[in-house]
């Protein structure tokens, strides 16, 4: 997973620049690449769903205290915080507001676990969070889209529900069916290797999708050069505030250091690949929405790396008390 994060960090800027170059100098080629967006989205969603393991949900009842804290933070407090930041920076720009908010809304369901491991966090408990986070955001996505974005923009969301169900259902069922078949047909060790493959493929597929988006909409995206620094500033502010929020909650509930690390990572890392895929479905032909999401990704992995090092440094100074009650819930 960590390798996937590093690969994404390297590939995304290259995909953005190459896409803009193709769109500007070879507009016909850029228009041709537009036809690949839908198949790439389907493939991306299928790979993301294939990666998720639902077996850890069996352990959820043993950790209801921490899981409740993480869920309320990720799906109530942070969406409200994200809405406030998006409104502050792009309250009068519907597309940029929507894209930035979509980046903020939902937590990561995969690579945050790699950074949790690096910072000596509770990886086993993090694996329980993954299916909970995925199920929650898939159920809440259309609701939050209507609540946070539909009330503040002029986007037509009436036909969104049926489209989302179709686009979500087919890749999800296909991924789950394939996973089931492979689990029965392959030895355990080989099946585990197969289930790890999507993690190395997703960055390349995601970058191909970004290239197609930027090349096919280059003229619209380059018409707003001043928006990109503001997006980066808004994302930086979001990361600072979520870090502070996570630290305050960890102190309030007296979390042990491994759980503090996990809370910091799950509240910081965003599920931008899945949100990009769902945004192209729910809000078609809105390149500024997608661009805001993509720009947010550029700083996420460096930020997670910095947080990992801060938490590791903190771990060398703090000896966790064995009496933290929340870790045994």
Q: Which domains, ranges and CATH numbers included, belong to the chain?
A: 2-313 (1.20.1530.20)
Instruction: Return mean pLDDT, the chain.
Output: 88
pLDDT of 130 above 70: yes
199 versus 319: the higher-pLDDT residue is 199
7 versus 225: the higher-pLDDT residue is 225
Contacts of 123 (CB under 8 A, 6+ apart): 113, 116, 117, 262
pLDDT of 324 above 60: no
DSSP, residue by residue, 262-276 = HHHHHHH-B-HHHHH
* CA atoms lying within 13 Å on the CB side of residue 324: 19
DSSP, residue by residue, 261-316 = HHHHHHHH-B-HHHHHHHHHHHSTT-HHHHHHHHHHHHHHHHHHHHHHHHHHHHHH
pLDDT of 319 above 70: no
Region 138-147: mean pLDDT is 87
List residues bridging with 107 in a β-sheet. Answer: 270
Predicted confidence at residue 146, as pLDDT, reads 84
If we measure between CA atoms, which residue out of 239, 295, 310, 313 comes closest to residue 269? 239
53 versus 214: the higher-pLDDT residue is 214
List residues bridging with 270 in a β-sheet. Answer: 107
Q: How far is CA 15 from CA 7, 133, 203, 207, 274, in A?
A: 12, 28, 11, 6, 18
pLDDT of 58 above 70: yes
Backbone φ and ψ for 208, nearest 5 degrees, come out as: -65, -40
> From CA 278, how far away is CA 289, in angstroms rounded?
11
Region 118-132: mean pLDDT is 93
pLDDT of 93 above 90: yes
pLDDT tens profile 158-211: 666 667 777 777 888 889 899 999 999 999 889 888 888 888 899 999 999 999
Name, of 38-52, 66-80, 160-174, the range with top average pLDDT: 66-80
pLDDT of 315 above 70: no
> From CA 90, how far away is CA 27, in angstroms rounded?
29
Query: In 3-state terms, what secondary structure has residue 152?
Result: coil
Predicted confidence at residue 4, as pLDDT, reads 60
Residue pair 180/168 in contact by the 8 Å Cβ criterion: no
Q: Name the DSSP class of 107.
A: B
Indicate the range of 6-10, 83-87, 182-186 predicted with least confidence. Answer: 6-10
pLDDT tens profile 236-277: 999 999 999 999 999 999 999 999 999 999 999 999 899 999
> From CA 179, how far away is CA 161, in angstroms rounded?
26
pLDDT of 1 above 60: no
Region 80-94: mean pLDDT is 95
Q: Name the DSSP class of 171.
A: H
Share of the chain above pLDDT 70, in %: 91
Contacts of 214 (CB under 8 A, 6+ apart): 15, 16, 18, 19, 20, 23, 221, 287, 291, 294
Predicted confidence at residue 325, as pLDDT, reads 47
CA 65 to chain centre: 24
If we measure between CA atoms, which residue out of 204, 319, 193 comes closest to residue 258? 319
Is residue 180 exposed (0-12), middle (13-18) or buried (19+ Cβ within 10 Å)? Answer: exposed
pLDDT of 157 above 70: no
pLDDT of 329 above 60: no
């Amino acid at each position: 997973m960590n390798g996937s994060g590093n690969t994404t960090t390297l590939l995304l800027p290259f995909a953005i620049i190459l896409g803009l170059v193709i769109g500007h100098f070879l507009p016909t080629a850029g228009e041709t690449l537009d036809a690949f967006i839908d198949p790439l989205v389907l493939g991306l969603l299928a790979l993301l769903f294939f990666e998720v393991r639902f077996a850890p949900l069996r352990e959820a009842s043993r950790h209801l205290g921490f899981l409740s804290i993480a869920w309320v933070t990720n799906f109530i407090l942070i969406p409200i915080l994200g809405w406030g930041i998006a409104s502050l920076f792009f309250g009068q720009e519907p597309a940029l507001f929507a894209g930035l908010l979509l980046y903020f809304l939902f937590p990561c369901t995969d690579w945050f676990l790699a950074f949790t491991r690096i910072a000596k966090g509770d990886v086993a408990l993090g694996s329980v969070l993954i299916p909970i986070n995925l199920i929650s955001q898939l159920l809440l996505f259309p609701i939050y889209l209507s609540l946070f974005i539909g009330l503040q923009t002029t986007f037509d969301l009436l036909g969104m529900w049926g489209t989302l169900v179709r686009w979500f259902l087919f890749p999800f069922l296909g991924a789950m069916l394939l996973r089931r078949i492979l689990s029965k047909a392959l030895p355990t060790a080989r099946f585990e290797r197969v289930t790890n493959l999507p993690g190395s493929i997703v960055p390349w597929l995601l970058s191909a999708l970004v290239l197609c988006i930027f090349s096919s909409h280059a003229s619209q995206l380059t018409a707003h050069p001043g928006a990109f620094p503001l997006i980066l500033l808004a994302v930086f502010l979001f990361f600072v505030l979520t870090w502070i929020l996570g630290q305050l909650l960890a102190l309030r509930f007296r979390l042990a250091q491994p759980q503090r690390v996990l809370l910091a990572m799950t509240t910081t890392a965003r599920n931008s690949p899945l949100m990009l895929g769902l945004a192209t479905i729910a809000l078609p032909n809105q390149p500024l929405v997608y661009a805001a999401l993509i720009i947010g990704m550029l700083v996420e992995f460096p930020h997670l790396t910095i947080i990992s090092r801060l938490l590791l440094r903190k771990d060398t100074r703090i000896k966790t008390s064995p009496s933290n009650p929340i870790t045994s819930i």
